Chains A and B, each alone.
Chain A
Amino acid sequence: MNPLVWISNKLMRRPSCEEVNRFLVEYVEGLLEGETRDKFEAHIKSCKCCGPYLDDYRTTIKMAKTSYDVEVPEALIDHTLEFLRVRMNDA
C-alpha cells in the first residue's frame, strides 16, 4: 500500500498524540493533504502536548540547519584538479 494512503487511513478518524507524533516528518515535509492534514492540524491546535512539541520539533530542525558553518577553501578546486592530474595519469 502507498505509505501516504496508509497514513491517511490512520489519521482519518481522530488521531491520537502517538499517531500525530509518528507522522510529524510527513507533515513537516508537506506530504499530508486535504482532510488528513485538516484532522492532523485540528489535533495539533487543540492538544496541549502536540502543539508545543511540534513547535520545538521545528525549532530543532532550524537550529540544526544553522549549527554547521563550513567555509569552502578558496583554492579547493585548483588543489583538487592538480591532485587529479597527477593521480589520473598514474591510474
Chain B
Amino acid sequence: MEHPKTNVTSSKLDIDALLAGSPDEFEKLVRQESARLFRIIARLIGNDIEAESVLQETYLQAFLRLHTFRRESKFTTWLYAIGINLARAQKRKLSRTVPLDDQDIERMQPAFSRGMYRDKPESWDPQKIALKNERKKLVHEAIDLLPPDYRTVLLLRDIEENNTDDVALMLEISSGAVRVRLHRARQALKKLLDPHFS
C-alpha cells in the first residue's frame, strides 16, 4: 500500500484483483469510497465518531467476506449494503429516542373518501419556511423519528440521491418496495412538519 494518492485513486477498480485480495486494490477502494460511505453511515447513526469506527468495520467485514460477493450488483453497492447494516445495528444500540412505528406511519398518511382528500391539505406558508431559523434542526429531528426502514430509504434516496434501483439492491428489497416506503416516509415527514410550516 505505498502508491501515491493520485495514482491509487484515479484509475478504475480492478474487481478481479480486489476479489483476489490485492492490498493495492483494496486501498484504492478505501480511497475512492470512504467519503461517500462515511456520509451515509454518519447520517444513519447521527454520530460522526461512531461513524468512523463503523466505516472501518465495514471495510474489514467486506475484506473478510470478499468470497461471498456474487457479482449480482456493483461491488460498491455490496459494500454499502454491509455499511448500512452495520450502521443500523449501531444506531439501534445508541438510540435514545423511540422512533415511530408502522402504525404511526399509517396514521400519518393522508386519508381519502371516494378518492378525494378527507381533509383539505393545509398549504405551507413559504415565509414560515424561509424564516424558520431552526428549520434544519426541525427537519433533522423529524427524520430521526421515522421508523428505521423508512428513515433509511429516505436517507439513501432523498438525501444521498442514490437512484431507486441502487437503493433496492443495497437494502435487498424490490424497487417497488423502495418507492412505497419512500412515499410513506415523505408523507409522514410532511405530516410531522405541518405544524411548523402551515
Is this pair of chains taken from one and the same complex? yes
Q: Could you list which residues of chain A lie within 8 angstroms of chain B, going by C-beta atoms?
A: 3, 16-19, 21-22, 24-26, 29, 48-49, 52-53, 55-57, 59-61, 63-73, 76-77, 79-81, 83-85, 87-88, 91
Tell me, rounded to whole Å, the shortest Cβ–Cβ distance linking A78 to chain B.
10
Majority DSSP secondary structure for residues of A touching B: helix
A-B contact count (CB 8 A): 131
A72, closest chain B residue (CB): B35
Contact check, B158 vs A3: say whether CB atoms are below 8 A apart. no
| Contact of A64 with B60 at beta-carbon distance under 8 Å, contacts A71-B48, A73-B48, A77-B31 already known | no
Between-chain CB contacts (< 8 Å), 23 pairs: A3-B176, A17-B115, A21-B110, A21-B112, A25-B180, A52-B123, A56-B121, A56-B124, A56-B190, A56-B197, A60-B186, A60-B189, A60-B193, A63-B135, A63-B139, A64-B143, A67-B139, A68-B43, A73-B48, A80-B56, A84-B30, A84-B59, A87-B60
Q: Which of B116, B139, B143 contacts A17 (CB 8 A)?
A: B116
Contacts of B34 in A (CB 8 A): 72, 76-77, 80
Q: Which residues of B contact A57 (CB under 8 A)?
A: 186-187, 190
Report B-chain residues with C-beta under 8 Å of the C-beta of A80: 30, 34, 52, 55-56, 59
SS class, residues of chain B in contact with chain A: helix
Interface of chain B residues 109 through 127 with chain A (CB within 8 A): 110, 112, 114-117, 120-121, 123-124
Hey, which bits of chain B sit against chain A, CB under 8 A?
1, 23, 26-27, 30-31, 34-35, 38-39, 42-43, 48, 52, 55-56, 59-60, 63-64, 110, 112, 114-117, 120-121, 123-124, 129, 135-136, 139-140, 143, 154-155, 158-159, 161, 164, 176, 179-180, 182-183, 186-187, 189-190, 193, 197
**Chain B residue contacts of A53, Cβ below 8 A:** 110, 117, 121
> CA separation between A76 and B56, bound complex, in Å?
9
Q: Is the CB of A67 within 8 A of B35?
A: no
Say yes or no: A17 contacts B112, CB within 8 Å: yes
Q: Which 3 A-B pairs have the closest CB atoms?
A: A16-B115, A67-B139, A52-B123
